[in-house]
Amino acid sequence: MRHLMNPLDFSVEELEKLFDLANDIENNPAKYAHACDGKILATCFYEPSTRTRLSFESAMLRLGGQVLGFSEATSSSAAKGESVSDTIRVVSCYADICAMRHPKEGAPMVAASKSKIPVINAGDGGHQHPTQTLTDLLTIRTKKGQLGNCTIGLCGDLKFGRTVHSLINALVRYENVRFILISPEELRIPSYLRDKLTDMGVEFQEVIKLEDVMPELDLLYMTRVQKERFFNEEDYVRLKDFYVLNKQKMENAKEDMLVLHPLPRVNEISVEVDNDPRAVYFDQAQYGVYVRMALILTLLESAKN
């Protein structure tokens, strides 16, 4: 039985298979409409979510399965002091697969170690968000035709943004990917990731100004400043509008550059960019359902063995 904690839990070949399956689901939804008849997905969310939880639920419903769960810690027994280990033992009796989001880094991993059903990390603190990465990779692969040979700019809160951490982890495995890390000094990527890029000999550069690098980018991954992970309000207020992508900045970008964002957006992308054909952040939300359908099928299959 397999779990998903980190995008690296799947090899590049396994990811290709997963994305092929997601593309097949997109093209032939009727073929999969009863693939999970009689199966139950539990969504255990100890932190707020719109896309991740609802796309998981939509994915399971579109596969013919059913869903149960909670969307805030206060409505579960966590409010009474129950540990995630105990919760997952119980949830294992009620469901066949579980997606878990938790503010503590590593909590879904602890749950997985005690679980009788596959557990999916749906975001753990500022650490990882592997299913957002699957969504991002599927979007890039489908729109660009490949996952290597590109310069990607990651912009915004690279320190606390778990989607950025997971995406870097995943993209270093592809050929000829160059990273431009665009952030204020205070929000640079964690040193463990910088060390990883250096040790692997991956080309990367850290810059502060988005405008300076815009013409070089094939992909621009914008992120929200992660308010909930700041220790003081003052720092958040100072940094929250550091980057605002607007029409004017888009004029200096390549004609086929893609703008991605895991969403939710706050101010970092002006709504005037939404109609630009290069803006694919709402397409990502759609791909997020297909890739989660593919993931649920793959993990349930692994639980049979």
Question: Where on the chain is the footprint of ligand NCD (CB under 6 A)?
Answer: 51-52, 123, 129, 132, 162-163, 224, 262-264
CB-count exposure of residue 171 (10 Å: 0-12, 13-18, 19+) = buried
Q: Note whether 223 and 261 are within 8 A (CB).
A: yes
The least distance separating ligand NCD from the CB of residue 90, rounded to whole angstroms, comes to 25
* Interhelix angle 107-114/84-94, nearest 10 degrees: 50
Given the complex with ligand NCD, which of 32 and 45 has the nearer CB atom?
45
Q: d(Cα 69, Cα 71) in Å, to the nearest integer? A: 7
- Which two three-digit tokens encode residue 94? 């009620």
Count of CB atoms situated within 10 Å of the CB of 206: 14
Nearer to ligand NCD, 92 or 132 (CB): 132
39/129 with CB nearer ligand NCD: 129
CB of 18 to ligand NCD, least distance (A): 18
Q: Based on CB atoms, which residue is closest to ligand NCD, 51 or 159?
A: 51
Q: How far is CA 55 from CA 50, 77, 111, in A?
A: 8, 24, 21
CB of residue 44 to ligand NCD, shortest distance in Å: 15
Which residue, 41 or 92, has its beta carbon nearer to ligand NCD? 41
In whole angstroms, how close is the CB of 116 to ligand NCD at the nearest point? 26
The side-by-side arrangement of strands in the sheet containing 40-45 is 66-70, 40-45, 97-102, 119-124
Which distant-in-sequence residues (6+ apart) come within 8 Å of 12 by Cβ? 173, 174
CB of 217 to ligand NCD, least distance (A): 20
